[in-house]
Homo-oligomer: A and B are copies of this chain.
Amino acid sequence: MDISAVNALSYEDFVNIFGNVVEKCPLITAAVWTSRPFINLNALEATIDEFIDALPESGKEGILRCHPDLAGRDLHSGTLTRESREEQARAGMDALSSAEASRVARLNEEYKRRFGFPFVICARTTDKTRILRELSERCQNAREAEMARGIEEVKKICRLRLQGLVLSDAPNKL
C-alpha cells in the first residue's frame, strides 16, 4: 500500500488497518485521519507523534498503561495483540529460561510499582540480553525520565509498525 492508497481510505478502513500502530490506542489513529492527506509516511508518523506530544501527562501515562508487560501474562495466555506477539517473539521474549523469566517478572513488578506504568521498549530493534539489561537499569531512573523514555519507545514501535504496513507492498511497485 502506498501513501495515495492510504489517503484514499475511509476512516473505518484506516482504523482497521492502522488502529494498533500505537498499542491498543485506536483513538490516536482515528484522530490523525482528520489530517489526511499525508504527503508521505513520515508525515503520517509526524502527525501521530504530535498528537501524542500534545496529550497531558496523564494521557501519555495512559498510552504506556495500554502496553502489555514484556514476557508477561498476555504472552503466556496468548492474549497479546498480533503485533506485540511478533515483536516479543522476534526478540526472544517467548523463549526465556526459567531463571530469566523469574527475573523479568520480578523486574516488571518492581518497575510498575515504582512508576505506575509498564516497562515499554521497542523489542524489534534490540534483543533479549539488552532488554534484560535495560529493564534492570531503567528501574533506577527518575519517573520523569522514564515517562519520556517510554513514550520515545512507543514512537519507535509505531514507526516500525507503520513501515510494515505502508511499505510492505513497495517492492511490487518498482
A interface residue numbers (CB < 8 A to B): 10-12, 15, 24-35, 51, 54-59, 61-66, 112, 116-117
Cβ contacts under 8 Å, A12 to chain B: 65
Taking the full assembly, how many copies of this chain does it contain? 2
Q: Which residues from chain B contact A31 at a C-beta distance below 8 Å?
A: 55-56, 58-59, 61-62, 65
Least CB distance from A145 to B in Å reads 17
- Report chain B residues within 8 Å CB of A65: 11-12, 15, 30-31, 33
Q: Main SS of the interface on chain A? A: helix
A35-B58, A54-B56, A59-B51 known; A30-B66 Cβ under 8 A: yes
| Most chain B beta-carbon contacts within 10 A, residue among A11, A33, A112, A116 | A11
- Which 10 A-B pairs have CB atoms at the shortest separation, nearest pair first? A31-B62, A30-B65, A30-B62, A34-B58, A31-B58, A27-B62, A25-B27, A31-B59, A11-B65, A27-B27
Q: Could you say which residues of chain B place their CB within 8 Å of the CB of A61?
A: 30-31, 33-34
Instruction: Please give me the residue from chain B that is nearest to A54 by CB atom.
Output: B56
Identify A27's interface contact among B11, B28, B34, CB under 8 A.
Answer: B28
Q: List 15 A-B contacts (CB under 8 A).
A: A11-B112, A25-B26, A25-B27, A27-B63, A28-B62, A29-B62, A30-B61, A30-B63, A30-B64, A31-B59, A31-B62, A33-B116, A34-B58, A34-B116, A51-B59
Residues of chain B within 8 A (CB-CB) of A24 are: 26-27
Taken together as a complex, chains A and B put the C-alpha atoms of A51 and B99 apart, in Å, by 42
Residues of B within 8 A of A66 (CB): 15, 26-27, 30
